[in-house]
């Protein structure tokens, strides 16, 4: 499917797939969220380290198709340095982009822009969306834990499908 994308998009996507600056573990992260896309066999785990109200560092681990892993890499890069509110805006912008709505100019998508070509392939949208769906769950779980206790403990969010 990557072959069918525009040349520019294909290069950006394959670049992230072959080498991601954000792949790996992050033991000091407070949020660990994972999920899978059974339709394609994609799996991804995101590790987010928060500090001073911002997402300090992001790493991900996963396996699956080029779209799912490249999307995770781009999304990880875009998340770093954002506040959790900005991260939610970015997630909404990516959902809108996949539905064919051009996102607000104020939101810098960075390399994620390359995924706009994916919306022509509805099955592949699920591959791309895995990354932000996983992070959305992770952030939601973190928010709940923060409001229910005074101490912030590690959050582990698993896939709905039950397989870990």
Binder of Zn ion out of 36, 42, 111, 136 (CB under 5 A) = 42
User: Given the complex with Zn ion, which of 18 and 104 has the nearer CB atom?
Assistant: 18
Phi, psi of 65 (to 5 degrees): -75, 165
> According to the binding rule CB under 5 A, does residue 98 interact with Zn ion?
no
> According to the binding rule CB under 5 A, does residue 65 interact with Zn ion?
yes
Rounded to whole angstroms, how far apart are CA atoms 47 and 117?
27
> According to the binding rule CB under 5 A, does residue 66 interact with Zn ion?
no
Binder of Zn ion out of 2, 10, 23, 40 (CB under 5 A) = 40
> CB of 123 within 8 A of CB of 39?
yes
Total binding residues for Zn ion by CB under 5 A?
6
Nearest C-alpha neighbor of 98 from the set 72, 59, 124, 75: 124
Q: For Zn ion, which stretch binds (CB under 5 A), given 57-65, 114-122, 132-140, 141-149? A: 57-65
What is the H or E stretch that residue 136 is in? helix 122-148
Instruction: Count CB-CB contacts under 10 A for residue 81.
Output: 13
Binder of Zn ion out of 93, 94, 127, 135 (CB under 5 A) = 127
Could you list the residues that contact Zn ion (CB under 5 A)?
A: 40, 42, 64-65, 68, 127
């Amino acid at each position: 499917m990557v072959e069918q994308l525009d040349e520019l998009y294909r290069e950006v996507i394959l670049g992230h797939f072959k080498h991601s600056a954000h792949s790996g573990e992050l033991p000091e992260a407070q949020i660990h969220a994972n999920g899978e896309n059974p339709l394609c066999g994609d799996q991804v785990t995101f590790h987010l380290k928060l500090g001073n109200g911002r997402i300090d560092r992001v790493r991900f681990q996963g396996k699956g198709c080029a779209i799912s892993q490249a999307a995770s890499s781009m999304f990880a890069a875009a998340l770093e340095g954002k506040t959790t509110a900005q991260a939610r805006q970015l997630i909404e912008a990516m959902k809108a982009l996949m539905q064919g709505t051009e996102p607000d100019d104020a939101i810098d998508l960075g390399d994620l822009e390359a995924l706009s070509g994916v919306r022509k392939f509805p099955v592949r949208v699920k591959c791309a969306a895995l990354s932000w769906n996983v992070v959305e769950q992770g952030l939601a779980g973190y928010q709940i834990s923060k409001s229910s206790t005074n101490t912030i403990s590690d959050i582990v969010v698993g896939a709905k499908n039950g397989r870990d």
